Amino acid sequence: MTSRAPRIAAWLALLIPASLLGGALVSQYVFGLYPCEMCYWQRWPHWAALALGGIAVLSVRRVQGLAVGMAALAAIAIATSGLIGGFHAGVEYGWWEGLTTCATSVPAGATTDDVLNSIMAAPLVRCDAAPWSMFGISLAGYNFLLSLAGAAAIYLLLRRKQPGTIVA
């Protein structure tokens, strides 16, 4: 009996980034929650994972080694997005300082023109303010949780050598 784990891992590698990107795009274009710079950073690894997951799904029946490799790379990309989301969530919750390109900063002793220029150069959407949250968790926090859980699930499925066993 052969394991179905690589096929399930390949489908997860496709569906997890597709779902998270879909949710981000719906929140942006349907609900008007415009992304900040760090929100865009979280999307790039998901786009890569989506492509890798697609290759994994298409090759799982023909070249299982390729499918496993692509699913593993997709899991790494998904985890990368989750880690960026974790950093972003920490900035939103005020646990640490964000990047200076995401917020307005006015130097000490600035003139009125400097203050005005600083305000005008600020991004429209700040990285340190969560535009939406549910149960106290922001979208970046959900990306962190769902991405790392999904990447771990793919990893565990790929480590399975035969049905019912996982090799550490």
133-134 vs 137-138, strand pairing mode: antiparallel
Give the CA angle between residues 123, 25, 126 to the nearest 5°. 20
Task: Single out the residue of 70, 73, 102, 85 nearest to residue 143, CA to CA.
Answer: 85
Phi-psi category of residue 91: left, alpha or beta, with phi > 0 → left and psi -120 to 50 → alpha: alpha
Which residue is listed with tokens 């029946």? 61
Q: What is the pTM of this model?
A: 0.76
- CATH numbers and ranges of domains, the chain: 5-98+107-159 (1.20.1550)
Per-residue pLDDT of the chain (168 residues; tens, 9 = 90+): 357 888 899 999 999 999 999 998 998 889 887 888 888 889 899 999 999 999 999 988 887 788 889 999 999 999 999 999 988 888 878 787 777 555 555 556 667 776 666 656 655 666 666 676 668 777 788 899 999 999 999 999 998 765 555 555
CB crowding 94-133: b at 16 or more within 10 Å, else e: eeeebeeebbeeeeeeeeeeeeeeeeeeeeeebbbebbee
